[in-house]
């Protein structure tokens, strides 16, 4: 596959950026990949492991002369990064991102970009609970979806080039409007993470169960909450602060559903509980049939050898 960009800059060198670089190399990408991270320690590790071709000490240095610049930093930091790189962006270059919130990214980034630069935000629906420059792997995006969320008036060719880039990394792509994107992600990602954080917090406060018991018997289901709740706290803080409207809307609906289940349990309404659980079980089957997970034991995770 021909590469849609000759030089690519990755700003932020964690799980997503590292996986992008490794997936590009797997695809045979021959252009230059530059990278920058705010932390000197992260930059040093990235140099040590050869995560990108050239690790730069500033975002502006990494972005200079790049055909594609991808912001792989927490949503709350994107505005300041856009401000820093704006003056060095190559005419005709494309700026994109990987944030899981889009309305806030538009507001933070777009005002800083020159008119001769394309802005095509994107969101790969893939990740793990791990973070940092050593956490990436080339297969992260395989058969996962990357949502392309262009700004109004963006040239169709620029949008297609970003989509082609993500397909080169192994992802499926779909173009989506910003409001729909933020509502969808509140349902499939943001609220599940909030629930996981809450459940782990409840267990921590529930002193009648010892910490040793919680850890020892976690395979009963709690373990999977802790896996999600181990995600990058900075990233998720920014997600909730920047997707308030959609998150609160879905959280309100979740609360209504939770109250209905509480009432069914309290009144002994087994039929309602059975019907509800049967419906949710069918959603799990649909996810497996769509190829977004496997039906292998242990939620499809490889067991340690």
Q: Most distant CA pair in the chain: distance in Å? A: 66
What average pLDDT is seen over the chain? 89
Looking at the fold, whether 164 and 218 belong to one and the same domain comes out as: no
Task: Check: CB of residue 240 under 8 Å from CB of residue 104.
Answer: no
190 DSSP assignment = I
Measured CA to CA, the distance from residue 118 to residue 165 in angstroms comes to 15
Mind giving me the DSSP string for 225-252? HHHHHTS-HHHHHHHHHH-HHHHHHHHH
- pTM comes to 0.81
Give the range of the structural domain holding residue 131, as residue numbers without chain letter.
Answer: 7-176
Residue 202 backbone dihedrals phi, psi, to 5 degrees: -65, -45
Measured CA to CA, the distance from residue 80 to residue 157 in angstroms comes to 27
Looking at the 3D structure of the chain, how many domains does it have? 2
Quick count: other Cβ atoms within 10 Å of Cβ 80? 15
Confidence of residue 303 (pLDDT cuts 50, 70, 90): very low
Looking at the fold, whether 160 and 78 belong to one and the same domain comes out as: yes
Note the pLDDT tens digit of each residue in 220-270: 677 777 878 888 888 888 888 888 888 899 899 999 999 999 999 999 999
Geometric angle at alpha carbon 279, from 274 and 283, rounded to 5°: 140
Out of 176, 201, 231, a domain closes at 176
Q: Is residue 289 part of a domain?
A: no
Instruction: Choose the weakest-confidence range: 140-144, 155-159, 290-294.
Output: 290-294
What is the reported pLDDT for 286? 78
Would the pLDDT of 107 be above 80? Answer: yes
Confidence of residue 304 (pLDDT cuts 50, 70, 90): very low
Give mean pLDDT, residues 270-287. 85
Beta-carbon-side half-sphere exposure of residue 270 (alpha carbons within 13 Å) = 0
Note the pLDDT tens digit of each residue in 173-182: 999 999 999 9
Residue with tokens 């990755």: 10
Looking at the fold, whether 159 and 241 belong to one and the same domain comes out as: no
Looking up residue 29, the CATH number of its domain turns out to be 3.40.50.720
Q: Is residue 2 part of a domain?
A: no
Measured CA to CA, the distance from residue 257 to residue 110 in angstroms comes to 38
Looking at the fold, whether 81 and 99 belong to one and the same domain comes out as: yes
Q: Is residue 285 part of a domain?
A: no
Looking at the fold, whether 120 and 212 belong to one and the same domain comes out as: no
Looking up residue 261, the CATH number of its domain turns out to be 1.10.3660.10
């Amino acid at each position: 596959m021909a590469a849609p960009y000759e030089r690519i800059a990755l700003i932020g060198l964690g799980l997503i950026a590292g996986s992008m670089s490794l997936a590009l190399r797997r695809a045979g990408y021959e252009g230059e990949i530059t990278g920058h991270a705010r932390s000197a320690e992260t930059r040093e590790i990235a140099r040590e492991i050869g995560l990108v071709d050239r690790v730069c000490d500033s975002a502006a240095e990494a972005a200079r002369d790049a055909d594609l610049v991808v912001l792989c930093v927490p949503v709350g930091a994107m505005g300041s990064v856009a401000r820093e790189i704006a003056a060095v962006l190559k005419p005709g270059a494309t700026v994109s991102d990987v944030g899981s919130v889009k309305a806030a990214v538009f507001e933070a980034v777009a005002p800083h970009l020159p008119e001769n630069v394309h802005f095509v935000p994107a969101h790969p629906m893939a990740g793990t609970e791990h973070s940092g420059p050593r956490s990436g792997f080339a297969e992260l995006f395989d058969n996962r979806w990357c949502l392309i969320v262009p700004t109004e008036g963006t040239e169709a060719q620029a949008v297609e080039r970003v989509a082609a880039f993500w397909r080169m990394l192994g992802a499926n792509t779909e173009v989506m409007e910003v409001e729909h994107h933020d509502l969808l992600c509140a349902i499939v990602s943001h609220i599940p993470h909030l629930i996981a954080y809450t459940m782990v917090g409840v267990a921590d406060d529930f002193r009648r169960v010892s910490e040793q018991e919680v850890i020892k018997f976690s395979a009963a289901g709690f373990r999977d909450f802790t896996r999600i709740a181990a995600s990058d706290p900075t990233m998720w803080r920014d997600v909730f602060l920047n997707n308030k409207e959609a998150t609160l809307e879905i959280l309100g609906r979740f609360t209504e559903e939770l109250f209905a289940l509480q009432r069914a349990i309290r009144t002994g309404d087994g039929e309602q509980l059975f019907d509800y659980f049967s419906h949710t079980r069918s959603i799990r089957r649909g996810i497996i049939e769509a190829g977004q997970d496997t039906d292998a034991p242990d939620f499809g995770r490889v067991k340690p050898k």
